[in-house]
Amino acid sequence: MTDMKLPIYLDYSATTPVDERVAEAMMKCLTLGGNYGNPASRSHSFGWSAEKAVEEAREHVAALIQADPKEIIWTSGATESDNLAIKGAAHFYQKNGKHIITCKTEHKAVLDTCRQLEREGFEVTYLEPKSSGLVDLDDLQAAIRDDTVLVSIMHVNNEIGVIQDIKAIGEITRKHKIIFHVDAAQSPGKAGIDVQDMNIDLMSLSAHKVYGPKGIGALYVRRKPRVRIEAQIHGGGHERGMRSGTLATHQIVGMGEAFRIAKEEMAADNERILMLRNRLLNGLKDIDEIYINGDLEQRIPGNLNVSFNFIEGESLIMALKDIAVSSGSACTSASLEPSYVLRALGRDDELAHSSIRFTIGRFTTVEEVDYATQLIKSAVVKLRDLSPLWEMHKEGIDLKTVEWAAH
């Protein structure tokens, strides 16, 4: 075995380590000898130099999604971008109507923003996805009303990794002249993005899911035909008035470099990561009573979300302490509800409680995947020996017929 370090990181959809090349580019924008000027300073070379670095980064981000650099607005991350896009467009276009369509499996940054707009008098339709996790296009068509001003659908789901058919949705929204926002926090470098071909009007991006730093993101805002948003943060009028605040040169340069690398290495990264994902899947598939959550084909290469029936997710995570993963179990969150994403797919609470999300990335190795596979297999045996539900299942009792003393 090579120099494998424990614990093994298999939570790349939560965040990623910053690529060394990205960190180096960032470090050049901080100290006295570096590019530390304020990009908004117009009166000296420190400002000009910082502005040049920011604009180069903007080009890299735009290039990955087939956009014009002028269409990229820097923000603090995808959550801010979602807020700016949804609130900004809803407020600007509210004279045309106050109806918004989104999906139940969206990230909380979208769902909670929509809840806020409901409190302000907007109406929101939350589409139920198919059991595969994909939005039913007929349902979307049917939900469109005369007063619908905005549709917000994510590109890649953070929990189950499924890729929505953004191009097909974009055709529908364009036909109806509805603003189309896409939360693409999870997709750069994993799923192809072409804002022209997909008819996207607004799109949220994040750096830290693609080997860039935390605390920086961007919003794509279409110029032709022009899409308008109301600013949420007011001040010095940076980013053409859409998002004020001094530009964080080092963060922006980091995001630019991360996106440049993503474009260059996407094909090779994805091929290797898919091989590792399939190796993990093959290693686990002999385990009895496991269920893959979400469509396996329409999915990014690095995601495997599995429910291990009759085992509770948090106890499984405890047994897997040498690997870093997340669970859809209630016990890992502040609320007492299991994953709302898995429930929206129609999964039973039991299976939602039993789910583990493995996400593989650029630095995952074959040794790590093999080690994780063995660990999971032995943990499943141990915890099923402890599980009264597994015992009942083995005795042929259908757990759905049991009357539980719920508490």
Partner 1 sequence: MAYSDKVLDHYENPRNVGSFDKSDQSVGTGMVGAPACGDVMKLQIKVGDDGVIEDAKFKTYGCGSAIASSSLLTEWVKGKTLDEASEIKNTDIAEELALPPVKIHCSVLAEDAIRAAIDDLKSKDTSAAEHKKIA
Sheet architecture: strand order including 179-183: 72-75, 217-221, 202-206, 179-183, 148-152, 99-103, 123-127
Nearer to partner 1, 207 or 324 (CB): 324
| The pairing of beta strand 303-308 with beta strand 355-359 | antiparallel
Distances (CA, A) of 112 to 67, 87, 150, 204, 302: 28, 11, 15, 15, 27
State the DSSP H helix or E strand holding residue 111, giving kind and residue range, or none if neither. Answer: helix 108-119
Question: What 3-state class would DSSP assign to 78?
Answer: helix
> Least CB distance from residue 310 to partner 1, whole Å?
7
Strands, E assignment, 277-317: 290-292, 303-308
Nearer to partner 1, 74 or 310 (CB): 310
Task: Please give the Cα distance from 231 to 349 (Å, whole number).
Answer: 40
Say how many residues make up the chain.
407
Task: Please give the Cα distance from 273 to 217 (Å, whole number).
Answer: 24
Whether 331 is a known active-site residue: answer yes
Burial, 327: exposed, middle or buried (Cβ in 10 Å; 0-12, 13-18, 19+)? buried
- Residue 28 is given by DSSP the state T
Task: Please give the Cα distance from 112 to 401 (Å, whole number).
Answer: 36
Task: Please give the Cα distance from 89 to 340 (Å, whole number).
Answer: 26
Task: Please give the Cα distance from 218 to 203 (Å, whole number).
Answer: 8
> Least CB distance from residue 350 to partner 1, whole Å?
4
Nearer to partner 1, 116 or 333 (CB): 333
> Least CB distance from residue 378 to partner 1, whole Å?
13
Which residue has 């980013």 as its token pair?
239
- Residue 273 is given by DSSP the state H
Using CB under 8 A as the criterion, which residues of the chain lie in contact with partner 1 when the complex forms?
310-312, 314-315, 318, 329-332, 338, 348-350, 353, 385-391, 399, 404-407
Nearer to partner 1, 196 or 332 (CB): 332
Q: How many CB atoms lie within 10 A of CB 265?
A: 15
Q: What is the largest CA-CA distance in the chain?
A: 80
Q: Catalytic residue among 29, 103, 114, 331, which?
A: 331
- Encoding tokens for residue 135? 């939005």
Nearer to partner 1, 172 or 287 (CB): 287
- Encoding tokens for residue 8? 């093994």
> Least CB distance from residue 291 to partner 1, whole Å?
14
Question: What 3-state class would DSSP assign to 120?
Answer: coil
Nearer to partner 1, 301 or 313 (CB): 313
> Least CB distance from residue 405 to partner 1, whole Å?
5
Nearer to partner 1, 288 or 391 (CB): 391
* Nearest of 182, 179, 245 to residue 216 by alpha carbon: 245
> Least CB distance from residue 143 to partner 1, whole Å?
30
Q: Name the residues annotated as catalytic.
A: 331
